[in-house]
A = this chain, B = another copy of it.
Amino acid sequence: MRVSLKDVAAHAGVSIKTVSNVVNNYQHVTPAMRERVQRSIDALGYRPNLAARHLRKGRTGIIALALPELGNPYFAELAAAVIDAAAAHDYIVLLDHTGGHREQEVLVSQGFRARVIDGLILSPIELEQEDLLDRAENVPLVLLGERDYELPYDHIAIDNVAAARAAVRHLLDLGRREVAFIGARRGRSETAQLRVRGWREELTAAGLPADDGLVAATEGWGHADGAAAMTRILDSGRRPDAIFAYNDLMAIGAMRVLYERGLRVPEDTAVVGFDDVVEGRFGAVTLTSVSPDKEAIGRLAVESVLARLGGEAPEPRRVWADYRLVARESTLGRAGREGGAEN
């Protein structure tokens, strides 16, 4: 049987509350008493029952992290960052995945998936502003990714428009003139729209075409979606001299198609991705990518949730995390050595 405060109290010949005081480092306990109780705790191997503590204090020590999918290393790396950041505050992370489906995202945001949590970090794809309006839950919510919502929740994001513009500018600086965008997701995805906007703005500013024939929508965000989109573009007869993909996975999928068609990267087609996943650094051609500071995003998200949980209700914040453009072979060619252009 598990040993409780009562057992320890009996063993040490003191009251339950005194043992509790020792366990919680309450300050008014004599060193002698503390030692005596501690000895009993050690002897019996007492470990606090968290369920009881939760019931009493109303806190669980758990925050939930809901991501679209774990298969994408970007999210996996982000999850690792969140877990570590939470651990630094003695918090544990409950992980869930929504598949990027609005329905699942709503369930998560309403707290129907995980109900033992103190806070929630959600990375939405399709979630709409109105889905959050009638949120009955009182657990703090932090959103990952830019949103145009006017809602009292913190956002942690990088400036997607600016990052996309930087990526496109990099391609233009290298002399490319026809830049296709891969991954404007069918249906709603605010983030994809922002990156398309950045792409369009930068091209337009340079007086270059940004017509719809250069934008390939996809169903999902995996390698296969990128490959399918690339195939569609090539089959349409266009031969863009550069590709900007919504994320690295799609960029890599697109590159695979380019290899198969005998097009050289970057000589015939330069490619830029987004997320800077490790995978991009080990292909036959290493991938130029926008690199969000995942560690910072994870840390800021955890801190935001915990701040709100402290009882204070600070003004909802939009927090911008850093990013860099990391240029590699897929734009610079084999000669180019890796180098980063600061945010």
| Residues in chain A within 8 A of chain B (CB atoms) | 2, 45, 47, 49-52, 54-55, 60-62, 69-71, 73, 75-77, 79-80, 83, 92-97, 111, 113-116, 136, 138, 222-224, 227, 252-253, 255-256, 259, 278-279, 281-285
Contact = CB atoms under 8 A, between A and B. Distances in A.
> What is the oligomeric copy number?
2
A92 B92 contact: no
B282 A256 contact: yes
A61 to B, nearest CB: 8
A285 B259 CA distance: 9
Given A76-B76, A256-B283, A284-B285, A116 B115 contact: no
Contacts of A62: 94, 116
A186 to B, nearest CB: 21
Contacts of A224: 282
Contact of A114 (B54, B92, B136, B282): B92
A32 B255 CA distance: 64
Given A252-B283, A256-B283, A279-B279, 11 more contacts: A45-B136, A51-B55, A52-B55, A61-B116, A73-B73, A83-B97, A95-B95, A227-B282, A252-B279, A252-B282, A256-B284
Given A223-B282, A278-B223, A282-B227, A80 B69 contact: yes
Contacts of A71: 73, 76-77, 80, 278
Nearest to A87: B113
Contact of A259 (B52, B255, B284): B284
Contacts of A45: 136
Contacts of A256: 282-284
Given A116-B50, A278-B71, A282-B252, A79 B95 contact: yes
A44 to B, nearest CB: 11
Contacts of A259: 284
A47 B284 CA distance: 54
Given A51-B54, A94-B62, A222 B278 contact: yes
A281 B116 contact: no
Given A71-B73, A94-B62, A253 B227 contact: no
Contact of A73 (B51, B61, B76, B115): B76
User: Which of A54, A77, A253, A259 is most buried by chain B, counting CB atoms within 10 A of its CB?
Assistant: A54
Contact of A93 (B50, B77, B95): B95
Contact of A113 (B69, B92, B95, B96): B92
Contacts of A52: 55
Contacts of A285: 284
A222 B77 CA distance: 13
Nearest to A113: B92
B55 A49 contact: yes
